[in-house]
Amino acid sequence: MSRLKPFKLSVLDLSPVPAHASVQAAFANSLALAKYAESAGYHRYWLAEHHNMTGIASAATSVLIGYLAANTKHLRLGSGGVMLPNHSPLVIAEQFGTLATLYPGRIDLGIGRAPGSDQRTMMALRRHMSASHEENFPQDIEQLIRWFDAPAGSHFDVQPVPGVGLQIPVWLLGSSLYSAQLAAQLGLPFAFASHFAPDMLADALTLYREKFRPSARLAEPYVVIGVNVIAAESKARARFLFTSQQQQFINLRRGMPGPLPEPVETMEPLWSPAEKYGVERALGMSLVGDQHSVTQGMAALQQQYQADEIIVNGQIFDPDSRIYSFSLAMAAAQSLMQ
């Protein structure tokens, strides 16, 4: 195997709420993982916006970012992502302008176009429904960048305070060719949600790299891919731990989202053949095993996709096992970079 392109390793946290645990415990678990990630050398730590899901505690994404930033020292923190159609660009600029002012040089704004919720919740978030939310998405991103990149002394009739001129890094997130093309057009770094929607990854990365236009923010394409890593001391233990995430995915597809289930010895009684196929396809970008097998899998993915950064998700029921999984993921990445 030829030498791999160097890559950074980061964390994607949905702040999972395990069954029989509280949201407060989920926040404590996220802080413990963030402190571990900082000490272990993870590059950045992102939180994802989801709503009306009792198993995910990161709905108020900017608030949780602030909590983790206040209790860490230098770890980069951000959104992976904020679902911009749910919000006024001005409000997001103010929130992230405040974070960037409180924690200079540590805050990323990752932006997505999906609602991060079901239709009824989306209506509750947006108060009224119209196509303009999605149609305005490119213009809303450009407005954020105009504010963030404005030179000193710039005047706007409406402006975020703080926010203007803060040069906050903006990322475009997605799982489609649309988001890849828009990121290329705007000259922004691009993160693909392959940890739950891997089907279009290769095509999206090819499109992004081929169509990329250098911008004042970014001279060359920059790619992040999402990967689930469930690592443990043995392959059998890792497969056992992975059943929590598999169950959670089935429940979501059945329209019954809930707390992260306890792991089980076998999934066979819990899903139909069609559900098994759907879950295995959606979670196809998952490395489940011991450190050696995770290292091999990570090397194969990097060989294929040439990512600048791999961001690791892991919905693991036991918080100590979760941190241990992230420790094995970091050990795998470090061994590949030697």
Please give the Cα distance from 268 to 284 (Å, whole number): 18
Q: Is 18 left (phi over 0), alpha (psi -120 to 50) or beta?
A: beta
Mean pLDDT of the chain: 94
Question: pLDDT (tens digit, 9 = 90+) per residue, 324-337?
Answer: 999 999 999 999 99
**pLDDT for residue 116 is more than 70:** no
Q: Residue 135: its pLDDT value, please? A: 73
44-47 vs 223-231, strand pairing mode:
unpaired
Is there a contact between 100 and 162 (Cβ–Cβ < 8 Å)?
yes
Question: pLDDT (tens digit, 9 = 90+) per residue, 269-309?
Answer: 999 999 999 999 999 999 999 999 999 999 999 999 999 99
Confidence of residue 323 (pLDDT cuts 50, 70, 90): very high
**What percent of the chain lies above the pLDDT cut of 90?**
87
Confidence of residue 123 (pLDDT cuts 50, 70, 90): low
Question: pLDDT (tens digit, 9 = 90+) per residue, 157-214?
Answer: 999 999 999 999 999 999 999 999 999 999 999 999 999 999 999 999 999 999 999 9
Question: pLDDT (tens digit, 9 = 90+) per residue, 249-275?
Answer: 999 999 898 999 999 999 999 999 999
Task: Report the residue count for the chain.
Answer: 338
**pLDDT for residue 114 is more than 80:** no
Q: Residue 3: its pLDDT value, please? A: 78
Is there a contact between 244 and 40 (Cβ–Cβ < 8 Å)?
no
Is there a contact between 122 and 59 (Cβ–Cβ < 8 Å)?
no
| Domain spans, the chain | 225-337
Q: Residue 115: its pLDDT value, please? A: 61
Confidence of residue 119 (pLDDT cuts 50, 70, 90): low
Query: Which among 49, 267, 301, 129 is positioned nearest to 198, based on CA atoms?
Result: 301
Global pTM value: 0.94
Confidence of residue 52 (pLDDT cuts 50, 70, 90): confident
- In the chain, the N- to C-terminal Cα span, in Å, equals 14
Confidence of residue 128 (pLDDT cuts 50, 70, 90): low
C-alpha angle 175-178-179 in degrees, rounded to nearest 5: 55
Q: Residue 160: its pLDDT value, please? A: 96
